[in-house]
């Protein structure tokens, strides 16, 4: 069986590295990750406070929506808040 070989182009590498570069600039990368993934019923207040001042909040939320992230605080929104946002967009 022959497998098709896909060579990665420079544009694809640039696109992928740009997509992930926002994560390096995120405030949560410098914070305790447990705050962003609280136990069920746990407070999200501290994580959302960090998100409020983050320069990549929009990119983070877009990533979570595009990749259907189901857990944690992303872009300042909880899973429930992201679901509501998606429903309103439809």
Mean pLDDT per 10-residue section of the chain, whose length is 90 residues: 50 54 90 89 94 95 94 96 89
Q: What is the pLDDT of residue 33?
A: 86
Residue 53 lies in a domain: yes
Residue 74 β-bridge partners: 77
CA-to-CA separations, 89 to 38, 48, 85, in angstroms, rounded: 27, 22, 6
Q: What is residue 26's three-state secondary structure?
A: coil
Residue 5 lies in a domain: no
Give the residue ranges of DSSP H helices in the chain.
Answer: 10-24, 45-52, 57-66, 79-89
* Number of compact structural domains in the chain: 1
Residue 3 lies in a domain: no
What does the alpha-carbon distance between residue 75 and residue 43 come to, in Å, rounded to a whole number?
A: 16
pTM for the complete prediction? 0.74
Q: What is residue 74's three-state secondary structure?
A: strand
Annotated binding site: 28, 51, 54, 60
Total number of residues shown for the chain: 90
Q: What is the pLDDT of residue 9?
A: 55
The answer to whether 64 and 22 are in contact (CB under 8 A) is no
Residue 54 lies in a domain: yes
Annotated binding site for [4Fe-4S] cluster: 28, 51, 54, 60
Domain span including residue 53: 11-89
């Amino acid at each position: 069986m022959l497998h098709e070989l896909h060579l990665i182009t420079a544009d694809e590498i640039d696109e992928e590295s740009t997509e992930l570069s926002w994560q390096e600039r995120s405030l949560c990368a410098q914070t305790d990750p447990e705050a962003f993934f609280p136990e069920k019923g746990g407070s999200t207040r501290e994580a959302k406070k960090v998100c409020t001042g983050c320069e990549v909040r929009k990119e983070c939320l877009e990533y979570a929506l595009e990749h259907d992230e189901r857990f944690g605080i992303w872009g300042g929104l909880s899973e429930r808040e992201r679901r509501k946002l998606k429903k309103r967009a439809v």
